[in-house]
């Protein structure tokens, strides 16, 4: 991840680093210093390199111009603490301090990482096709076509009215992702509806921290939960079973999105939480939590939910060793606890809505619970 980017002698000085402990320092996109990965991934590190400055000087005795070389000593002192994140730095040129400061997680969230410069390619049919596809994908007409196809697909499965309501639920869910992206200052490309597969909220920008990953991922199901709660209230006020069905199926849709399986929202959330735990105790806590979740699911008779929870948790455990290679800044202890509670409360609320409506005795309203028990 990009830890620092400041000006140094008129050029960009950029420091890249990771939880594994390695650091690379670039001056004008040229590698000038690096530190290897180590067990001590934080603490004080010093980067030193030398620059050569050429100066022209007129000789008084001969009248000729001489080119003199002047060596410039540059030293960057850094001190990084990963959880909670704090990065202190001091830049010295010829033993004179020219820049110093502190960076926090908020600075990492708002930064735009350096994009490597690529050599321009010759025009080809493949390049033109790729450009055409990108333009097509970004066109508003594609959104309209996909939305129409989604309405037709869900109308074939249910009714036209319920299809429109389901589309509204999908859009509201994806809007939750969009709002979170905008909160972090990310540019969005809008919402794309995909028949039989739900929706997709797109952004051209990449995230820099696991907190961003958690918030963007969980805001979709959170907005979905609000939609189900609103529909449930409308059902009890009007006694119209249409709102009850909308609440139940929307809750089921968002519950499946919270399964710890990538690329679902739940996979991103639990991966960010577990990968932010540096010690083996963190992994043990994740395993215990997964086992408890599977036990509760089977105790309640939710066999499908328990099975998918087990598969998703095993996937995250197997990838746990690669957490230090990620460019994402990890969650601190508060972020881990808060994200876990937010996730569990959202899951419990969605299951509670499904369970409550299944108790009405209506066969259609009982279908989501039967699916979870299958």
pLDDT given for residue 136 in this prediction = 47
pLDDT given for residue 54 in this prediction = 65
Range in 68-77, 233-242, 350-359 the model is least confident about: 68-77
Q: How confident is the model at residue 118 (pLDDT cuts 50, 70, 90)?
A: very low
Angstrom distance (rounded) from CA 93 to CA 100: 12
pLDDT given for residue 120 in this prediction = 45
Let me know: does 241 contact 248? Beta carbons within 8 Å: no
Angstrom distance (rounded) from CA 315 to CA 69: 57
Q: Which helix (H) or strand (E) holds 193?
A: strand 188-194
Most confident of 30-44, 183-197, 290-304: 30-44
Angstrom distance (rounded) from CA 230 to CA 249: 13
Residue 60: is its pLDDT beyond 60? Answer: no
Residue 119: is its pLDDT beyond 50? Answer: no
| Phi, psi of 132, rounded to the nearest 5 degrees | -65, -40
Residue 249: is its pLDDT beyond 70? Answer: yes
Q: How confident is the model at residue 257 (pLDDT cuts 50, 70, 90)?
A: confident
Angstrom distance (rounded) from CA 208 to CA 113: 8
Angstrom distance (rounded) from CA 306 to CA 299: 9
Q: What sections of 111-186 are H helices per DSSP?
A: 125-138, 140-157, 160-183
pTM for the structure as a whole: 0.72
Q: Which residue has the tokens 């309640």?
A: 300
| Burial class of residue 343 in the structure, from the number of CB atoms within 10 Å of its CB (0-12 exposed, 13-18 middle, 19+ buried) | buried
| pLDDT tens sequence across 65-115 | 665 677 889 999 999 888 788 999 999 988 899 999 999 988 888 877 665
For residues 354-361, give the mean pLDDT: 88
| pLDDT tens sequence across 304-323 | 667 777 776 676 666 666 66
Residues 6+ apart with CB under 8 A from 162: 154, 242, 245, 246
Q: Which residue has the tokens 């909308």?
A: 246
- DSSP letter string, 257-292: HTSS-TTSHHHHHHHHHHHT--SHHHHHHHHHHHHH
For residues 293-300, give the mean pLDDT: 72
No. of helices (H) and no. of strands (E), the chain: 11, 10
Q: How many residues does the chain have?
A: 374
For residues 135-160, give the mean pLDDT: 60
For residues 243-263, give the mean pLDDT: 85
Residue 222: is its pLDDT beyond 90? Answer: yes
Angstrom distance (rounded) from CA 3 to CA 44: 14
List beta partners, residue 46. Answer: 77
Residue 327: is its pLDDT beyond 80? Answer: no
Angstrom distance (rounded) from CA 295 to CA 346: 18
CB atoms within 10 A of CB 256: 20
* 12 three-class SS: strand
């Amino acid at each position: 991840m990009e830890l620092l980017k400041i000006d140094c002698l008129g050029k960009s000085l950029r420091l890249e680093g990771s939880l594994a402990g390695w650091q690379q320092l670039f001056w004008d996109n040229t590698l000038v210093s690096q530190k290897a990965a180590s067990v001590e991934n934080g603490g004080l590190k010093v980067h030193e390199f030398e620059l050569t400055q050429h100066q022209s000087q007129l000789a008084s005795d001969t009248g000729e111009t001489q080119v003199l070389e002047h060596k410039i000593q540059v030293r960057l002192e850094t001190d990084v603490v990963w959880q909670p994140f704090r990065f202190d730095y001091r830049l010295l040129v010829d033993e004179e301090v020219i820049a110093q400061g502190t960076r926090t997680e908020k600075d990492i969230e708002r930064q735009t990482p350096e994009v490597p410069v690529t050599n321009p390619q010759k025009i080809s049919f493949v390049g033109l096709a790729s450009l055409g596809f990108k333009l097509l994908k970004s066109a508003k007409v594609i959104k309209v076509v996909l939305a129409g196809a989604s309405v037709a697909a869900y109308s074939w499965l249910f009714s036209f009215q319920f299809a429109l309501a389901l589309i509204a639920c999908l859009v509201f869910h994806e809007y939750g992702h969009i709002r979170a992206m905008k909160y972090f200052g990310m540019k969005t490309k809008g919402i794309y509806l995909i028949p039989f597969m739900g929706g997709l909220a797109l952004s051209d920008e990449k995230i820099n921290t696991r907190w961003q990953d958690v918030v963007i991922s969980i805001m979709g199901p959170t907005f979905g939960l609000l939609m189900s709660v609103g529909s449930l209230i409308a059902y009890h006020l009007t006694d119209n079973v249409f709102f009850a069905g909308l609440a139940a199926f929307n809750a089921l849709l968002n519950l499946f999105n919270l399964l710890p399986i990538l690329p679902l929202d739940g996979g991103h959330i639990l991966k960010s939480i577990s990968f932010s735990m540096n010690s083996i105790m963190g992994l043990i806590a994740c395993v215990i939590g997964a086992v408890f979740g599977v036990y509760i699911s089977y105790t309640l008779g939710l066999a499908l939910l328990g099975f998918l929870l087990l598969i998703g948790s095993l996937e995250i455990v197997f990838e746990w060793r690669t957490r230090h290679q990620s460019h994402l800044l990890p969650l601190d202890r508060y972020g881990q606890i808060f994200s876990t509670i937010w996730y569990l409360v959202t899951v419990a609320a969605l299951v509670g809505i499904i369970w409550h409506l299944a108790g009405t005795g209506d066969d259609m309203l009982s279908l989501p619970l039967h699916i979870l028990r299958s």
